[in-house]
Structure 1
Amino acid sequence: MSNPSINTSTSSSAPLKPSAAVAAPPKPLREFWGYFSQNRGAVIGLAIVCLMVLMALFADLIAPHSAIDQYREAILVPPFWQDGGSMKFLLGTDPVGRDMLSRLIHGARLSLIIGLVSVSLSMILGVILGLFAGYFRGMVEVAIMRLMDIMLALPSLLLAIAVVAILGPGLMNAMYAIAIVMLPHYTRLTRAAVIGEMEKDYVSASRIAGASKWRIMFNCVLPNCAAPLIVQATLGFSSAILDAAALGFLGLGAQPPTPEWGSMLASALEFIQSAWWVVTFPGLAILISVLAFNLMGDGLRDALDPKLKR
């Protein structure tokens, strides 16, 4: 017969295995993608934005023709599926014989550059002003926020036109004007986020530990305000593309023969009835790019906002 005491001692001396029910916490990127991918529109917007980035990076290789070369024998050629179209110019040509597809592809590069420069400038300056307003409060906050209120009181396009009229027409000046127009949004958003974070316990602990004001502002508070700023920057791309197209349409942005979607619309207005493609394709490019950034911004908001996660 077997001795039960021996079996009991043997089983009790065996090492305990961790429970399989205790799972490791999800990785941040995997968790972010899990929330982001639940929004199908955001995934579609991300795919379109990635396609635009690839088009911008490899525009010289993808575009079948130069964006500024004129083919005098092929003026206002329709797209290839219409009568009189040619496979040489898949989306037709413009009033001076330039390939529409090549200009649209190079226009994507220009639109992304405008969005990147404008959003970067306005975000950097807006974050600094918002940090000062939310941290120091008092007269500093009053001075900064009243200036932002004055800028918000003016229509955005009118303010951009006024800035370009002062600086002069051109692509770089249009970027500066768009950055100034978007500046109040980043300043107000940063100030609101900083005021909310200043009430947290970790800020009080940092002060007790002897951290300087600059360390608390930039090392403690600012990283915790990054989520809404990232969402606003994504949505700011769409606003920058729209404002750049509006300035180009008015002749205050990129100057011919630069392939910019707004200037392409302006140069084709008189042919809107006789050659529909010279107006439709640039308009669709603006519509699709703005919609893609807006959809992606909605997905980022859903994935980064802890309230929506709950």
Structure 2
Amino acid sequence: MTVDANAVQETDPEAQGLAARPMHPLVEFWVYFRESRGAVAGMAVIAVVVIVAIFADVLAPHDPTEQFRDSLLTPPVWAEDGSWAFPLGTDAVGRDMLSRIMHGARFSMVIGLVVVTLSLSIGIGLGLVAGFFRGVVETLIMRLMDIMLALPSLLLAIVIVAILGPSLFNAMVAIALVYLPHFARLTRAAAIGELSRDYVTASRVAGAGLPRLMFSTVLPNCLPPLIVQATLAFSSAILDAAALGFLGLGAQPPLPEWGTMLAEAREFVLRAWWVVTFPGLAILVTVLAFNLMGDGLRDALDPKLKRS
């Protein structure tokens, strides 16, 4: 006698429980995230960039500051012995472009990480304070954020760097301050939406203190949009740092930062295309990868966008 599996599930409560068991959150996240091929491709590119950044000392064929005086502005060509001595050519002082781009990936990852960490941590604190303490405190914080948002982001970063002095660290601080209002406003809006829910009321009744309500009860439920915004801010931070480096306000030579490399190559654009093309492509590919992954994170973390 044959047994119908569907009939067993309909009559057996334990089988019904197994069939209706929800997926693990990480598994559910990956199911929705992988639906976007662009997001998966972006994550793969970011993984490669991170690996190159971590192991740049091992993977780079030369030291990024080593100068080969007999190979100034050498194009990407084969060497006489059949090897590819400079796969991406050399710059105006004979430094290997591939090695500098690989080490530049390290600077770009550090810039994005520092900027997002600073702006996210301070923005979350200000947003939670504005969401919990309504009235004068909220008005002062949000009006300050509005004033910062009213100024063009790059112009504001230039002003801050001009006050602090041109350096890579000061550029990261300036960019973090520029992105701070986005995280503060997003956290405040999410916190206000969560404060009216029953689980927050239950925590209050149970005697939870204000720090516990802010950081243990409300904040975890505000993280999905903040994660998406942090991913997009990571790519924007890399782009803005490259812009400041191009203007001479970010990383200073001879640091192999992509924007600084573009600034050093401006006068050789017409006769040495590779000194501008490859750093520009590195910025383009990295920023595009983070944006694609950010779109995939938004689709995977936002319940409104999940298909039933």
TM-score past 0.5 threshold: yes
SS in 1 for 2:292: helix
Q: Which amino acid aligns with 1:232?
A: Q
**Cα deviation, residue 309, structure 1:** 1.1
Aligned match for 1:19, one of 7, 15, 24: 15
1:305 equivalent in alignment to 2:298: no
Mapping for residues 126-205 of structure 1, pairs under 5 Å: 126-205=123-202
Match of 2:109 in 1: 112
Alignment map for 1:1-310 (pairs within 5 Å) = 18-19=14-15, 22-23=18-19, 24-80=21-77, 87-310=84-307
Q: Percent identity?
A: 68
Deviates more, 1:201-210 or 1:62-71: 201-210
Structure 1 SS opposite 2:87: coil
Q: Is the CA contact 2:187–2:222 (under 8 Å) kept in the aligned structure 1?
A: yes
Structure 1 residue 87: deviation in Å?
1.2
Name structure 2 gaps, 5 residues minimum.
1-11
Paired letter, 1:48: V
Give the Cα–Cα distance (whole angstroms) in 2 for the partners of residues 257 and 125 of structure 1.
32
Residue 182 of structure 2 aligns to a residue in which SS?
Answer: helix
State which drifts further: 30-39 or 73-82.
73-82
Q: Is the 8 A contact 1:302 1:308 kept in 2?
A: yes
Query: Which of the pair has more CA radius of gyration?
Result: 1
Native 8 Å contact 2:78 2:85 kept in 1 = no
Matches of 2:266 and 2:61, distance apart in 1: 25
- Are the counterparts in 1 of residues 119 and 177 from structure 2 also a CA contact under 8 Å? yes
- Structure 1 length normalisation: TM-score? 0.92
Give the SS at the match of 2:99.
Answer: helix
SS of the residue corresponding to residue 15 of structure 2 reads: coil
Q: How many angstroms does 1:20 deviate by?
A: 5.9
Q: Structure 1, unaligned stretches of length 5 or more? A: 1-15
Aligned CA RMSD, in angstroms, stands at 1.6
Give the deviation of 1:18 after TM superposition: 3.1
1-side partners of 2:175 and 2:14: how far apart? 57
Q: Is the 1:160–1:178 contact (alpha carbons within 8 Å) kept by the matching residues of 2?
A: yes
Aligned residues: 294
